[in-house]
Amino acid sequence: MAIPIKEITVRHPCFSSGIPNNKGRIHLPVSPGCNIECQFCDRQINTTEQRPGVTAQIITPQQAVEIVRKSVAIIPEIEVIGIAGPGDTLVTPYALETFRLIDKEFPDLIKCMSTNGLLLADRADEVIGAGISTITVTVNDVYPKTLPNICGRVRYQDNIYEGEEAAALLISKQIAGIRRVSQAGIIVKVNTVFVPKINSNHIEEIAKTVKRAGASLYNIIPLIPVFPQQKKLQSDIPAVSCTEIDNARSRAEKYIQVFRHCHHCRADAIGVPGGKDYGEQIYQKRIANENTFSHG
């Protein structure tokens, strides 16, 4: 059953309006692979970096259920079970399997999934049937001519697409996916990585497009050039200033509600965003001494 958006904004720390709501979430790193090639992305297995795309290891859906049991027993603020990588959640079956298992045991917790959206329309019925209440889709541009500067390659149905062809396919699939799941009652947030000189002048058009498709919330994330992986982008792209991000959010807010207190969370983060990360405690050094599970 769909959860009303008013309840979502009270319980979900990444969908709340105004100030942070001090609610907690668990990120379960069950999704290793990806099907698009973003120029700023660098998925890593380590215990040190505090950013998306990083986890100490990949766990199984069965291990994920045990992690949820441990977490809710000691962290009463937990309201959300999220899967945000380190790869895309729909490339492999493990995220949806995890959500189905967790929904049986913890039906009252919010289930939240992040995806690049390429397979969202194709797998919408499975997503809807897995008990997922909120989805975050990363849409970095709506212009096929410029998106290849951010994402230039897509793998879809065993075929590789590049350049504008890849961009047009990705954009069309993202919009179709957002429309499909939002019509089913799932609350959709869209993330955009703000990249100066590439998509910085397209923020309003992105906001209008995803709002028309059914998104309820928009989150603009600044590109952080200090990450080594971002050397793939143009070397002359400057760091994003707070003023630039604030102006972009204000422009987008003319069309859609804007989320303004995002944190760069690991794919195995546990706790209240911005507060103590219980990952080390819950995962017991993130299960470093157990048999590491790898599924591609």
Domains and CATH numbers, the chain: 5-191+266-272 (3.20.20.70)
pLDDT at 227 over 90: no
How many C-beta neighbours within 10 Å does residue 32 have? 22
Residue 13 has pLDDT above 90, yes or no: no
Section 177-201 average pLDDT: 95
Question: Does position 14 have pLDDT exceeding 90, yes or no?
Answer: no
Mean per-residue pLDDT, 175-182: 98
User: pTM of this prediction?
Assistant: 0.87
d(CA 142, CA 147): 7
pLDDT value at residue 43: 59
* Residue 91 pLDDT level (bands cut at 50, 70, 90): very high
Q: What percent of the chain has pLDDT over 90?
A: 57
CB 114 within 8 A of CB 92: no
Q: What mean pLDDT value characterizes the chain?
A: 85
**Mean pLDDT in residue range 85-100:** 94
Q: Using pLDDT thresholds of 50, 70 and 90, give the confidence band for residue 294.
A: very low
Instruction: Tell me which of 31-40, 143-152, 180-189, 260-269 is least confident.
Output: 260-269
**Average confidence (pLDDT) over 53-70:** 84
* Model confidence band, residue 233 (pLDDT cutoffs 50, 70, 90): low
What pLDDT was estimated at residue 94? 97
Average pLDDT, stretch 58-62?
A: 92
How is residue 172 written in tokens? 């069309």
Q: How far apart are CA 58 and CA 32, in angstroms?
A: 7
Beta strand segments in the chain, E: 24-27, 36-38, 44-45, 54-55, 78-83, 110-115, 134-138, 151-156, 159-162, 187-194, 217-222, 257-259, 270-271
Of the candidates 292, 268, 252, the one whose C-alpha atom is nearest the C-alpha of residue 81 is 268
Q: Hey, which of 169-173, 236-240, 282-286, 288-292 has the most confident mean pLDDT?
A: 169-173
pLDDT at 189 over 90: yes
Q: How many CA atoms lie within 13 A of 120 on its CB side?
A: 31
Give the chain's radius of gyration (CA, Å): 18
Confidence of residue 286 (pLDDT cuts 50, 70, 90): very low
Which tens digits make up the pLDDT trace of 100-109?
Answer: 999 999 999 9
The string of pLDDT tens digits covering residues 198-218 is 999 999 999 999 999 999 999
d(CA 179, CA 214): 5
| pLDDT for residue 50 is more than 90 | no
What's the whole-number mean pLDDT along residues 49-53?
60
Residue 55: pLDDT band with limits 50, 70, 90: low
Band of the pLDDT at 8, cuts 50, 70, 90?
Answer: confident
